[in-house]
Amino acid sequence: MAAKNNPTVRRRRLGAELRRLRVASGLKSTEAAERLMVSQPKISHMENGNRAISPRDVRDLCAIYEVTDQQVIESLMEMARESGQRGWWHPYGDLYDSVYIGLETDAASLHTYAPMVVPGLLQTPAYAQAVIGETIPRLTGEQAVTHLKVRLRRQHRIYDPACPLRLWVILDESALRRVVGGPDVMREQLEHLNALGAEPHITVQVLPYTAGAHPGLAGQFSLLRFADSPEAGVVYLERFTSDLYLEKPSDVRHFSVMYDHLQAQALTPDSSRDFITCTARTYGDAAINS
């Protein structure tokens, strides 16, 4: 999905541009809020991309920030109109990870390190169902079905024939050894991993226990980049109650270097495929002997 059709991405980029204009004007967020006659938190929410921004607010803020270029004003107002559109995920209700889904939908490439479970984009339906059911407390049957539908719908992004997501995945060996859903589910999941890893736009590497200490010990992270601004990016840190999104260039560079080190310590894609195949066989043997 192009950025122009993605309300999450457009909202965040519009917010960043409004912040830049405010800073260039020399105004603090409290001063901008006072002149717009709104609360300071509203200005913060708009600049952080946490809420839709009306074209009228954009027009008034441009006046406050003394923006005189009519083409710039019209462009920002168009971004505001697009930021109010609904993404494909909105009909599924209030999703805790809707911001990330919007970014993932628009990303040109995604580098992810997964220390505990196979990432959602690569999960089989049975594995995904087991992960959802076992990791989200007090989930009703209807909610579980919705979460599964959304997770599987997200996978359309890697099968997009026009512009498939360029995906790099580093899996800690723990993600392969952790039995989710039983031996049969694990065997199917690992065989699915190898099938996806054979695709030209997907790279899967395994970081074995023998690698010892490494930069990923702090936990899962993903790095998203976008076609219309390849020099920029967003680092996504998944947390149980409140996810973190890091966009400062220094943070993006830091995690890019971390990922480079993880790739260097991980098995090559070919060796990873062999490792996954051997691990899948152990689950097949376990299923036969059970």
The tens digit of pLDDT for each residue in 216-254 reads 998 999 999 988 676 778 899 987 667 788 888 899 999
Average pLDDT over residues 256-267: 97
Rounded CA gap, 109 and 166, in Å? Answer: 4
Rounded CA gap, 148 and 144, in Å? Answer: 6
Q: Report which of residues 94 and 36 the model is more confident about.
A: 36
Could you give the residue range(s) of every CATH 3.30.870 domain in the chain?
90-289
Please state which of the ranges 122-131, 151-160, 235-244 shows the lowest mean pLDDT.
Answer: 235-244
Check residue 186 and give its pLDDT. Answer: 97
Q: What is the DSSP letter of 62?
A: H
Check residue 1 and give its pLDDT. Answer: 38
Residue 133: how many other CB atoms lie within 10 Å: 15
Q: Decide: 104 and 154 in contact? Cβ < 8 Å.
A: yes
How far is the CA of 10 from the CAs of 88, 127, 234, in angstroms?
A: 15, 33, 14
Pairing of strands 221-226, 229-237: antiparallel
Query: What rounded mean pLDDT belongs to the chain?
Result: 88
Tell me the pTM.
0.78
Q: Report which of residues 194 and 45 the model is more confident about.
A: 194
Check residue 2 and give its pLDDT. Answer: 39
How far is the CA of 109 from the CAs of 167, 168, 201, 270, in angstroms?
A: 6, 8, 9, 21
Check residue 251 and give its pLDDT. Answer: 93
CATH architecture type of domain 3-83? Orthogonal Bundle (1.10)
Could you give the residue range(s) of every CATH 1.10.260.40 domain in the chain?
3-83
Q: Which range is most confident: 26-30, 90-94, 161-165?
A: 26-30
How far is the CA of 59 from the CAs of 8, 16, 30, 74, in angstroms?
A: 20, 16, 18, 8
Rounded CA gap, 196 and 202, in Å? Answer: 7
The answer on pLDDT for 4 being more than 50 is no
Give the pLDDT band of residue 285 (cuts 50, 70, 90): confident
Q: How far apart are the first and last CA of the chain?
A: 45
| pLDDT tens readout for residues 170-199 | 999 999 999 999 999 999 999 999 999 999
Q: Which residues contact 140 (CB under 8 A, 6 or more apart)?
A: none
CATH architecture type of domain 90-289? 2-Layer Sandwich (3.30)
Q: Which residues contact 223 (CB under 8 A, 6 or more apart)?
A: 110, 111, 112, 233, 234, 235, 236, 252, 255, 256, 259
The answer on pLDDT for 205 being more than 90 is yes
Average pLDDT over residues 112-139: 94
Give the pLDDT band of residue 105 (cuts 50, 70, 90): confident
The answer on pLDDT for 84 being more than 80 is no
